[in-house]
Structure 1
């Protein structure tokens, strides 16, 4: 068997493993509408996916005053938790993860979600046995700051050159670069992949199957 190139593989969640981009966009728009702000376009709302929630909402709704940010966050959570079970893993994600586990990679999640949100999602799709660790935006610095990856690498004793970050946004790829790690982008999530080149991903996958094939050959 070919030696592994990466010991630790970190996945973003929304838009990379979980088919949630459209619902997140609608929930952001509904929350901003609820507090009287200018409702962002689909593109504007999708851009902030991957950031920590409050950072994302402040960015996408600059006309909402800071004293209403807490309410804005509450309204987003209200809409999201009402629809979280309407969404699921992208087709092909489970075989991909099982294949990587069979090769004895450590698998972790590095996400802009909250701990509550990630745990709810993991319970819903019954993935607890597949991931060895995770970091959420309310536990550490938000993307693209590299602290999330630094903490995961320290936890597993893995060096940056043995770590791969996989994500659907420029925030994910910039975080990987900031942490000194390799990255792979996926084009089927929140961000236009034309913006990925600046961050030098090793590959851009246009489907889960393409991602699986690349990982099988290169990870």
Structure 2
């Protein structure tokens, strides 16, 4: 059997495993409207996906004064909670994860979601118990700071050259670069893949099936 190349595989959540990009964009836009800010267009709202919540909202609504950020965050959470059960895993995610587990990779999540939000998502899907570890933006530094990956590497005792980060945004891939890790981009999430080239991912997958096939052959 071919030796595996990566011991630890870190996945972004929204737009990579979870088909949530469109709903997150609408929730950001609704939250900004609620506090009287200039509503960002779809491209601007999707660009901030993957960042920590307050960092993302501040970037998406630069005309909203900082003293209104707590209300902005509250309104985003209100809209997201109203729609969170409308979101599902991309087709093919579970078979892909089970394939990787059978090959004894450590599977982790590195996400801009909050710890509470990630734990709720894990409880509400068939993913409970699939992942060996995770980091969220509110318990460490947000992307593209490498701290999430560095903490996971320390937790599992894995060197950077044995770690693969998979995500749908330039924030994910830049985090991998900053941590000294390899990356794979997916084009079906929040960011257009033309921005990935400068960050040198090993591969850009245009579907979950393509990602599955690449991981099976190369991870």
**Pairwise TM-score range, normalised by the shorter structure:** over 0.9
Distance (whole Å) between structure 1 residues aligned to residue 119 and residue 147 of structure 2 = 20
In the TM superposition, 1:39-54 aligns within 5 A as: 39-54=39-54
1:122-141: CA deviation from partner (whole Å, max 9, x where unpaired): 11113121100000000000
Q: Secondary structure at the match of 1:125?
A: coil
Distance (whole Å) between structure 2 residues aligned to residue 119 and residue 77 of structure 1 = 15
In the TM superposition, 1:132-211 aligns within 5 A as: 132-211=132-211
Residue 124 (str. 1) matches residue 124 (str. 2): yes
1:144-200: CA deviation from partner (whole Å, max 9, x where unpaired): 000000000000000000000000000000000000000000000000000000100
- Tell me how far 1:73 sits from its aligned partner: 0.1
Distance (whole Å) between structure 1 residues aligned to residue 25 and residue 37 of structure 2 = 15
TM-score by length of 1: 1.00
Q: Secondary structure at the match of 1:142?
A: coil
Q: Secondary structure at the match of 1:164?
A: strand
In the TM superposition, 1:82-97 aligns within 5 A as: 82-97=82-97
Residue 72 (str. 1) matches residue 72 (str. 2): yes
Distance (whole Å) between structure 1 residues aligned to residue 21 and residue 42 of structure 2 = 10
Distance (whole Å) between structure 1 residues aligned to residue 204 and residue 2 of structure 2 = 22
Distance (whole Å) between structure 1 residues aligned to residue 133 and residue 126 of structure 2 = 15
TM-score by length of 2: 1.00
Q: Secondary structure at the match of 2:165?
A: strand
Q: Which runs of 5+ in 2 are unaligned?
A: none
Q: Secondary structure at the match of 1:135?
A: strand
Q: Secondary structure at the match of 2:204?
A: strand
The match for 2:36 is 36
The match for 1:113 is 113
The 4+ residue runs of structure 1 with deviation greater than 3 A are none
Question: Root-mean-square deviation (CA), in Å?
Answer: 0.4
Q: Which runs of 5+ in 1 are unaligned?
A: none
Distance (whole Å) between structure 1 residues aligned to residue 23 and residue 170 of structure 2 = 20
1:83-141: CA deviation from partner (whole Å, max 9, x where unpaired): 00001000000000000000000000000000011011111113121100000000000
Q: How many residues align?
A: 219
1:20-74: CA deviation from partner (whole Å, max 9, x where unpaired): 0000000000000000000000000000000000000001100000110000000
